[in-house]
Amino acid sequence: MEPSSNPTPPCPTPWGRTGRSRRGPPIPHRRSGPLLVSMVTGGGRAESREAGRSGSRRPGEGRRAGAEENRAGRCPAAMPSPRSSPSRRAAPIPSPSRRAAPGPSPSCAAVALRSLLAADLRFSRQLGVCAGERSAWGSARPLLRLLEVSGHGVPWLAGTLYGLGRSESPAGREVLLNLLFALVLDLVLVAVVKGLVRRRRPTHNKMDMFVTISVDKYSFPSGHATRAAMVCRFVLHHLVLAIPLRVLVVLWAIIVGISRVMLGRHNVTDVAFGFIMGYMQYNVVKYFWLSPLSAPALFAVWNQ
């Protein structure tokens, strides 16, 4: 008499059911050696009982045996997933050859520009001797503020409009009308460049300027420098002045530009670019010069 043994449970499928296509070959019943020997030789009851105990399995033991067989590799579906393997969990160590290469080194032009800006800031701060009342030359600050007003756009616009309304000479009216055109052009170009560059004013500047607008919080270029250079060139070309007065006009333009740095309003490069820009603005005014022949309607309005 052979003892009954529980068959090994089939491999579970992904849908939780047992399929014949994924079930392995049938496992033959295990025959216990001591049991067969006892039956043939007629051994004692103790041997038969011992063989029966070892041959027969409980339901729990059959399940554990099936699980052990699955782990041994008979059922590939029940093997541990590759995600839980330690080799997949460990982060790969990047090799030195796969590390990100450093960014491109700055060009010589970029390094030179940074050095120039750093020197500009340092030099401008040293020249800002009238930036405040407690500065080295703080007592000269009121005088420099008068120069600031003399180069401001509002007094020049107001004076030009007043002279244009009071003038009775056609030649004088033509000159004043073109000067008004030059002043308006200067305001527009400076505002556009300041809005594009957006360079902040020096940190030691005291915001107590005369009649500022939204773009005046920016520093590049200096509007006083552009206006001084443009007006200086305009006056020297269209007004008949004695030599001392011509020298005085040139000195006025230069001192206005220097005072912007001494007051801490601008950096040195702001004033230098402002002089160049104002000098070139007169070429634009000269090219689009307004005359009774080029703009008859405009002169007809002022003649009335």
> Which residues, at least 6 apart from 79, have a Cβ–Cβ distance to it below 8 Å?
70, 71, 73
SS3 200: strand
Active site residue 237: no
Active site residue 152: no
> SS3 for 41-108, per residue?
HCCCHHHHHHHHHHHCCCHHHHHHHHHHHHHHHHCHHHCCCHHHCHHHHCCCCCCHHHCCCCCCCCCH
Of these residues, 29, 152, 224, 238, which one is catalytic? 224
CB environment 223-238: b (16+ within 10 A), e (fewer): bbbbbbbbbbbbbeee
- Give dist(CA 301, CA 292) in Å, integer: 11
- Give dist(CA 172, CA 165) in Å, integer: 11
CB neighbours of residue 204 within 10 Å = 13
Catalytic residues: 224, 266
